Structure 1
């Protein structure tokens, strides 16, 4: 029994708005969630079956194939300090998706360079440009000797397809997984040393990708939209002092089952690193706390950093957070 039309979550997530350097998620108003239709009397097995039929569910994503493709060079850019920069493209469900690729100069280590699939946060698709925003972020990993690939996602900039959002449509997650598959095909990359970095919406995409592809070794999530969907439905951008929207127990269970957080045991020891500022006005610091609690309950390793008074982009601690993330990938990839 589906709660809503296929491909959409059983609640309406907020419409994102932009924030420099190009990432944000919640709107300026309160939640727009409508109470889902009740599922009184539906047994757990039927509830789980209903969840699995949703295209955004981890079960449905695992049933897809992610062949990726060879990376095709579209444009060569001015190089970085010790790495090359190119706009490339790859295939995702028959769509040409553009991406920004960095490759270290010099002789690669035995087996190839370690690589990071770099997943940006929300940027209005019609103003997105492959070479804009996240320059300092991507540069830190490139300088440290990692191949990085920042996918545009479908419908962004000159990439083909329709941009339908990162939460109630599977398309962006599919693009991330095909980006990882494309990196594995590159002879300069060690396919056994692949990780993910994600900010804001990109944190959600990275978490999903980790749970779908067991070959992805580790992920660093910054200000991620990583709380369970039951929390997103009731607590996201709720104005201070307003009552929390009610969810009946079965609908709350449905949202929990639909969340990536319901599958954290499938990480099987692959580590996560979490970063969040306490003054984040776009994605609440409580979302990191919620994921941390879920990881503890699932017995999975993680490290969580709290940046007192910092914002959504960790502007006050950017250098420190980047150094921590670089070291994390050196230790885990």
Structure 2
């Protein structure tokens, strides 16, 4: 599915909703116009390519059971709560080539391992990204960035939130931009669309954990936030639902709807999306045919699981993710008891004239919440 014009555990059903969200966010930021559930036993799909010794795994790999042994219970079907049932582990963060050096920070190509497990097995993907580290000894607060939809076939490493990454690093934040699986140099998940792309949220969760486990990056473990734009806003809302207490704050910008039925109607009507639309409809039914499935793959019904404060930022003239979506999400967050705010700006989906003001507001929110 793809978004209109420019301007989601690893269980079977989880990855499908993320598929819709990703397509929803096709507007890349103007500054760089230049985006599993285990099936059987362990099925790692990639390695870091680094032979440096790493600490031993603490989570046992599932063993093959005798044929007569009791079979494990099936995992929850593809859903946000299915994502929550997975055990997530991020590690093996590697610093690669230096992309840029400024007086305020150094930018690196990076990879890390995103590993998720259920009773049915384990999947691990090497995920690429870009990391900006402020100049100095640290430790520094950190922000993990989840970009909006960009066709994976044309996406390049670090695309979509270059401005935000630099802005944060210049103000003393480690900023880790996650490419997601199936993007740039990341490993591919062949089922990422039909599993609702919930794997993107798993990759973001594991990015936080990989940062905390790294001895190469001076991060203050108690001061970490999530920041997602457009499709990435939906990605981080699902991450907050799946793993309460993961971070200390979150900021969804110009976010897709927190109800997947809205995203389906908005972003799955392009004739070019006929194949994936038909595949999803055949496998799961449309929102009209199977509303329960689409709600289970939405974050909104589970907002009462969110423990972190949330700052939503939205443009009044957003014609990709309609402003009423932000209003509805904010109301639902408040009803669920989440400490949340919604800031409006006179701008469109990609944020141009109001970008600096919105970023300044977001940094002040992080400063206050991360101490």
Q: TM-score, normalised by structure 2?
A: 0.70
| Residues 121-136 of structure 1 aligned to structure 2 (within 5 Å) | 121-136=148-163
| Residues 1-333 of structure 1 aligned to structure 2 (within 5 Å) | 6-7=13-14, 9=16, 13=20, 15-16=23-24, 18-21=26-29, 53-55=76-78, 57-93=79-115, 94-108=124-138, 112-162=139-189, 164-165=192-193, 168-187=196-215, 188-213=218-243, 214-234=245-265, 251-252=290-291, 254-268=293-307, 270-308=308-346, 310-333=347-370
Closer, same or farther: CA 160–237 of 1 in aligned 2, 3 Å: closer
Q: Do the aligned residues in 1 keep the contact of 2:14 with 2:195 (CA within 8 Å)?
A: no
Q: Do the aligned residues in 1 keep the contact of 2:107 with 2:131 (CA within 8 Å)?
A: yes
Shift of 1:253: 5.2
Q: Distance in 2 between matches of 1:212 and 1:221?
A: 16
State the SS of the aligned residue for 1:54: coil
Q: Distance in 2 between matches of 1:228 and 1:219?
A: 18
- More displaced stretch, 252-261 vs 95-104: 252-261
Q: Distance in 1 between matches of 2:194 and 2:236?
A: 11
More relative contact order, 1 or 2 (CA 8 Å, 6+ apart): 2
Q: Do the aligned residues in 2 keep the contact of 1:192 with 1:215 (CA within 8 Å)?
A: no
Q: Do the aligned residues in 1 keep the contact of 2:20 with 2:260 (CA within 8 Å)?
A: no
Q: Distance in 2 between matches of 1:295 and 1:150?
A: 26
- CA deviations 1:250-298 (Å, max 9, x no partner) are 9545533442111111123x21001111221211111111101101211
Q: TM-score, normalised by structure 1?
A: 0.78
List alignment gaps of at least 5 residues for structure 1: 26-51, 240-245
Cα RMSD (Å): 2.9
Q: Do the aligned residues in 2 keep the contact of 1:165 with 1:172 (CA within 8 Å)?
A: no
- More displaced stretch, 137-146 vs 71-80: 71-80
Q: Which residue of 1 aligns with 2:46?
A: none
